[in-house]
Amino acid sequence: MKTKTFILLFTMLSLVAFAQSKANPDDAAIKKSLTGFINSIKEKKIEQGVNYIYPKFFTVIPKEQMTQILTMT
């Protein structure tokens, strides 16, 4: 009984560890987008930087207001 419990526990921990180490295929796209956003803000190209923001975000804050906020910052 101890052996079965140990094997079950070991299998469950292995599955959890494997699930955590899976690479996300969207990581490269996210990194590229974030880098583009940061570089455009550094270069004071605020309008270009705002274009990197997720479009549904502008239902919360209008695009013009976000541009103003980033310009003031």
Contacts of 71 (CB under 8 A, 6+ apart): 46
User: For residue 24, what is the DSSP state?
Assistant: P
Q: For residue 17, what are its two tokens?
A: 């560890």
Q: Mean per-residue pLDDT for 26-30?
A: 85
Given a contact cutoff of 8 angstroms between Cβ atoms, the answer to whether 71 and 50 are in contact is no
Q: Mean per-residue pLDDT for 22-42?
A: 86
Q: For residue 12, what are its two tokens?
A: 């469950």
Q: How confident is the model at residue 22 (pLDDT cuts 50, 70, 90)?
A: low
| pLDDT tens-place string over residues 33-68 | 999 999 999 999 999 999 999 889 999 989 999 999
Amino acid code (one letter) for 56:
K
Higher pLDDT, 60 or 20: 60
